[in-house]
């Protein structure tokens, strides 16, 4: 299965988690040590709801400050659902995966590399938000395989640039998505503080 085939599933996965977040959840800690739930949501919205669509369309990114608080916007979760679906639809076009594009407007990278970033943003941060807010996250086998393949291909460079933390050892017999989490520097057994 090609990454383009799982983009809508990845978006739907993230949107389902985001829609279940309550105002009381926003200041909870997450597996991303420097970010609260609000911080992860804002990061997710920026990269998969704003910049992800523009780079699929090979357009300049929308001018939005990196520190914009999307959770302060009225009806933010519904707006994210719409924008995330638009991003997934844009990446569903095979043309999006051709040539080069940019997430930030500051230099181009191969479109498949950028599309993989968007895919991983949806699914890995959906997990971060789910465990931080007490939700169950279900990742189907095809989606887990696509994310694992992408994470495995970029883990070392992502660690070098601080996008992933040090690999967390996970048994080879663990489910594929748990191994993906470990490879991306996440502890699959992370629990939110009581």
Residue 105 pLDDT more than 80?
no
Phi/psi zone of residue 75: left (φ > 0), alpha (ψ -120 to 50 degrees), beta?
Answer: left
CA distances from 181 to 2, 43, 148, 150, 155 (A): 20, 18, 9, 12, 11
Cα 130 to Cα 113: distance, rounded to the nearest angstrom: 26
DSSP state of 185: T
What is this structure's pTM? Answer: 0.94
Q: Output the CA–CA distances (angstroms, integers) from residue 42 to 77, 147, 160, in the order listed.
A: 11, 21, 23
pLDDT above 80 (res 32): yes
| DSSP letter for each residue of 14-51 | HHHHHHT--GGGTTSB-SSTT-BHHHHHHHHIIIIIIH
Query: 23 Cβ partners below 8 Å, 6+ apart?
Result: none
For residue 21, name the pLDDT band (cuts at 50, 70, 90).
very high
pLDDT at 103: 83
User: For residue 1, what pLDDT band results from cuts at 50, 70 and 90?
Assistant: low
Q: Can you tell me the distance from the alpha carbon of 39 to that of 70, in angstroms, rounded to the nearest whole number?
A: 10
- What does the pLDDT look like over 48-68, one tens digit per residue? 999 999 999 999 887 877 788
């Amino acid at each position: 299965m090609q990454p383009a085939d799982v983009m809508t599933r990845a978006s739907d996965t993230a949107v389902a988690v985001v829609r279940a977040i309550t105002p009381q959840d926003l200041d909870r800690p997450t597996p991303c040590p420097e970010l609260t739930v609000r911080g992860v949501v804002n990061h997710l919205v920026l990269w998969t709801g704003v910049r992800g669509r523009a780079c699929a369309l090979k357009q300049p990114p929308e001018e939005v400050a990196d520190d914009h608080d999307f959770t302060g916007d009225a009806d933010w979760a519904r707006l994210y659902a719409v924008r995330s679906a638009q991003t997934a639809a844009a990446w569903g076009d095979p043309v999006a995966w051709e040539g080069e594009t940019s997430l930030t407007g500051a230099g181009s990278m191969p479109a498949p590399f950028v599309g993989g970033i968007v895919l991983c943003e949806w699914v890995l941060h959906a997990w971060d938000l789910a465990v931080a807010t007490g939700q169950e996250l279900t990742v189907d086998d095809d989606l887990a395989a696509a994310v694992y393949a992408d994470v495995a291909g970029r883990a070392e460079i992502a660690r070098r640039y601080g996008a992933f933390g040090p690999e967390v050892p996970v048994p080879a017999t663990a489910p594929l998505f748990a191994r993906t989490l470990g490879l991306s520097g996440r502890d699959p057994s992370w629990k939110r503080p009581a």
